[in-house]
Amino acid sequence: MTTASDQPVIFILSDSVGETAEFVIRAASSQFNGGQADIRRIPYVDDKKTIAEMVQAAAEVNGMIAFTMVVSELYQFLLDEANRKGVPVVDIMGPMIEGLSALYGREPKREPGLVRRLDDEYFRKVEAIEFAVKYDDGRDPRGLLRADVVLIGVSRTSKTPLSMYLAHKRLKVANVPLVPEVEPAEELFMVPAEKCIGLTINPDQLNGIRRERLKSLGLTARANYANMERILQELEYSEKVMKRVGCPIIDVSNKAVEETANSILDMLRKGGKHL
């Protein structure tokens, strides 16, 4: 099974891109004197005519066909046609699909391109995480109008952890700290109210959280940051801003990040209605 250049010819037929098969072939062929091979990838195969033509082409050069095809009708046609022409074939995914079918206890979907869709979801997640990092803590107000969700609240109301958690759900999240001495960026008031979530917290709990934060930094708990009068001032100011924005408000007191995140996701699914 060689060409004039003394390299085996391997046709890859796939009802998707064919990257999986090519990766496996290159990994396997590396075990044979450097793995030189003439690999010809034919992606998005969705008709019998193309299959018949590729089987004939493989027969003419004494080549082999490797395939990743999940549509039953085309799968069987390829096997029959290759057998008729005496062309060796290797099913890259079939044995694994059969094994997983037994493990899951159900039949596979038999839909082409599902791996590509999973890849797309992965890259959307990465993009969302990068977005959350870039627009954390009000760093760049330009991100507010590009965000899927904007979180606002005083310091230590879990804005950053929530941003990262929601980013893993492929949502682009920006967050803005509300401080009495700093007027929020005008972009905040241009964000649709249903895309903005206000976070509030019980003042006693916030006082405890801030005291612990100061201790971890080696600072005295008597600092203004943990002063109850200051905390009440900040919460009052944040409430005014949230009312001005018109956004729903979630009390994060005694709530885990996951619980608050699920409340936010429910709000978004229901069009921003306060639950």
Tell me the C-alpha distance between 61 and 211, whole Å: 76
- Which of these ranges, 11-15, 26-30, 104-108, 156-160, has the smallest mean pLDDT? 104-108
Tell me the C-alpha distance between 133 and 265, whole Å: 20
Give the predicted TM-score (pTM) of the model. 0.60
Please write the tens of the pLDDT for every residue from 139-192: 999 999 999 999 999 999 999 999 999 999 999 999 999 999 999 999 999 999
In the 8-state DSSP scheme, what is residue 136?
A: G
Tell me the C-alpha distance between 42 and 22, whole Å: 11
Region 259-263: what's the mean pLDDT? 95
- For residue 202, give Cα distances in angstroms to 154, 235, 260: 12, 9, 15
Question: Where do the H-state alpha helices sit in the chain?
Answer: 19-29, 48-60, 72-85, 94-104, 114-134, 159-167, 203-216, 228-245, 257-269
Cβ-contact 257, 175 below 8 angstroms:
no
Please write the tens of the pLDDT for every residue from 79-99: 999 999 999 999 998 887 778
Task: Give the annotated binding-site residues for ADP.
Answer: 153-160
Sketch out the chain's domains with CATH numbers: 9-112 (3.40.50), 119-269 (3.40.50)
Phi first, then psi, for residue 221 (nearest 5°) are: -70, -5
